[in-house]
Amino acid sequence: MICNSYERFFKTLAEPAKLNIINLLSKGPLNVSQLSKKLNFEQSRASHNLKALADRHFVIVERKGKERYYSLDKTIIIPILGLIDAHVEKYEKHYCKCKGIPWRKKE
Amino acid sequence: MICNSYERFFKTLAEPAKLNIINLLSKGPLNVSQLSKKLNFEQSRASHNLKALADRHFVIVERKGKERYYSLDKTIIIPILGLIDAHVEKYEKHYCKCKGIPWRKKE
DNA sequence: AATTCATATGATTTGTAATTCATATGAACG
DNA sequence: CGTTCATATGAATTACAAATCATATGAATT
C-alpha cells in the first residue's frame, strides 16, 4: 500500500556498519581493502554493505584496475543527516552529547 | 564511535508497520483502537509501534479520558520524506512508479 | 595461460528486533 | 468499589536481515 522506497531507504541506513562506512567515506574515497582494514571488517562484509549502499545510490563506485573505489554521494546524505541533527538536538540533546561528527558543519 | 542517534532514527522508520502508521496519521490524529482497526493491527502491536514513534518524537500523544490520541509531528517527517522523494525520483523513477503519497505536495 | 591479487556472490548461520500472547494499569461509570 | 473499556507492558515466539564462510569472477602480471 505505502511506497516501499522509504522502507528501503531507511533500512539501508539503519545500521552501525553502514553508518560507519558513510562516516569513513565522508573523508574521501577508498577501495574495499582499505575500507575493510580501517573498519576491521571482513572483506565480504565490506562488499555486501557497500553493495547495499550503492544500490540506494548513497555511494558511487569507480573501477581502477582490479580495485574499486567507493565514494560518498554527499548530495543526499549530508542534507538528510542535517535534518536529523536538528531534530535530535531539539529533543535529545540532554542525553546524546556526542560531538565531532565529521560531516556536520558547525557554524 | 559514531553517534547512534542516526541509527535509532533510521531504525524507527525502517519498517512498513511504522511507515503505514505515519501515512495514516498524516491525515489526522487517531486513538489506538481506531488506528488498530484501520490497519488491521493487533492492539498491542499498534501500542508498541506508537510508543517507538513517540520515543523518537515522530508522533505526539494527547490523553482524552481513557483514550490516547496520536498525531504526526510533521515538522520532521515531511522534510525528511521530501528529501527522499527527490532522491528516489532521481535514481529510481523507472522502477518505482507509485503515486499519491498523501503527504507529498505535488506542484 | 597459470598465478596472484581485489572484489563479488550465494548459502548458511547468527543476531536482533517485531509480533504475539498474556497480563497489568488506569480511567470512567454504574 | 467493582466492572468495563482503552491502552500499556513484559516475556516468549517468530521473522528477517546481517555476518560469516566458502567459492566464484575478473583483472593484472609473469
Sign, CA dihedral B45-B49-B50-B51, equals positive
Q: What is the three-class DSSP state of A1?
A: coil
Angle at A21 between CA B78 and CA A80, to 5 degrees: 15
Tell me the C-alpha distance between B107 and B105, whole Å: 6
Contacts of A10 in chain B (CB under 8 A): 10-11, 13-15
Tell me the C-alpha distance between B103 and B107, whole Å: 12
How does pLDDT run along chain B (107 residues), one tens digit per residue? 345 899 999 999 999 999 999 999 999 999 999 999 999 999 999 999 999 999 999 999 999 999 999 999 999 999 999 999 999 988 866 554 444 344 444 43
Q: What are phi and psi of A2, to 5 degrees?
A: -85, 145
**Nine cell digits for residue B104:** 507529498
In this prediction, residue A4 carries a pLDDT of 87
Tell me the C-alpha distance between B32 and B36, whole Å: 6
Contact between A62 and A25 (Cβ < 8 Å): no
Contact between A100 and A85 (Cβ < 8 Å): no
In this prediction, residue B34 carries a pLDDT of 98
DSSP annotation string for B18-54? HHHHHHHHTT--EEHHHHHHHHT--HHHHHHHHHHHH
In this prediction, residue B4 carries a pLDDT of 87
CB contact under 8 A, A1 and B20: yes
CATH fold label, B5-73: Arc Repressor Mutant, subunit A (1.10.10)
In this prediction, residue B3 carries a pLDDT of 58
CB contact under 8 A, A7 and B1: no
Compute and round to an integer the Cα radius of gyration of chain A.
Answer: 15
- Does the CB of A17 fall within 7 Å of any strand D atom? yes
- Does the CB of B44 fall within 7 Å of any strand D atom? yes
Tell me the C-alpha distance between A28 and A71, whole Å: 7
Distance of CA A7 to the CA centre of its chain: 16
* First-to-final CA distance of chain B: 41
Task: Give strand pairing partners of B63.
Answer: B68
pLDDT over 90 at A26, yes or no: yes
Residue B66 CA to C22 C1' — how many Å?
21
pLDDT tens column, A36-52: 999 999 999 999 999 99
Q: Where are the domains of chain A?
A: 5-73
Cβ contacts from A onto B, under 8 A: 89
- In the DSSP assignment, the letter for residue B105 is P
* Residue A64 binned pLDDT confidence (cut-offs 50, 70, 90): very high
Query: Could you tell me if B20 lies within 8 Å of chain A, comparing CB atoms?
Result: yes
Residue B104 CA to D28 C1' — how many Å?
50
Query: Could you tell me if A48 lies within 8 Å of chain B, comparing CB atoms?
Result: no
